[in-house]
Structure 1
């Protein structure tokens, strides 16, 4: 279930350094049971500094929507249930060697994490 956030709260979370946004993402996805990507006839992809594909994900629709600009202007937020993320998407990404760009901000700064590592973090937090 998604919850609306105040503009002040959105801005406060964006202001966190990437590693803190990553931790916030993991906690929030575990609590809500969902992550969000951008979708338009396929998932939006970013590129890392080496030019490799990265799948950006956010902890809520409002965050994804804020990043649907420039090259992602035609994309819309799409929900990914945690079970689908753990059982389907992350294993597929791991097999293809595509990391996840956790919680990009509107300036394109995110925290790249190997898909398998993110899956372990999400499962680990479930048992904590």
Structure 2
């Protein structure tokens, strides 16, 4: 989905279940060879859910920008290539015991998975 995409499409995607959004994210990751997270001067932003630290990821910058407010108003979208995600980020997240929350939307949960689970899905 690009910045020129139909706004109705964005809302339809946001209305999907966490599992559907996760599948959409994986499909877009394969198509565009990139995903997005939010960063500030200290690095990637981390969400804490149910005692777990999670890095949120989105299929494009537009969806990530929806989170730039409140405590995260100082953040900016950060593009990660598929290669970097697979070879650098996933092993690092696994080592640091940080989970992944796929395509969260404000006010609703995203699908939480372990880095090794996403690595298997991308293999």
Query: Normalised by the size of structure 2, how large is the TM-score?
Result: 0.93
Report what 1:126 is aligned to.
Answer: none
TM-fit CA distance, 1:108: 4.7
Distance 1:53 1:106 in 2: 17
Q: How does 1:31-110 map to 2 (within 5 A)?
A: 31-41=31-41, 42-50=43-51, 52-110=52-110
Query: Which digits, 9 at most, give the CA deviation of each residue in 1:29-60, with x for residues without a partner?
Result: 1111000000111101101122x210000000
| Structure 1: runs of 5+ lacking an equivalent | 124-128
Of Structure 1 and Structure 2, the greater strand share is in 2
Distance 2:107 2:69 in 1: 10
TM-fit CA distance, 1:119: 1.4
Query: Normalised by the size of structure 1, how large is the TM-score?
Result: 0.89
CA RMSD, 1 decimal: 1.2
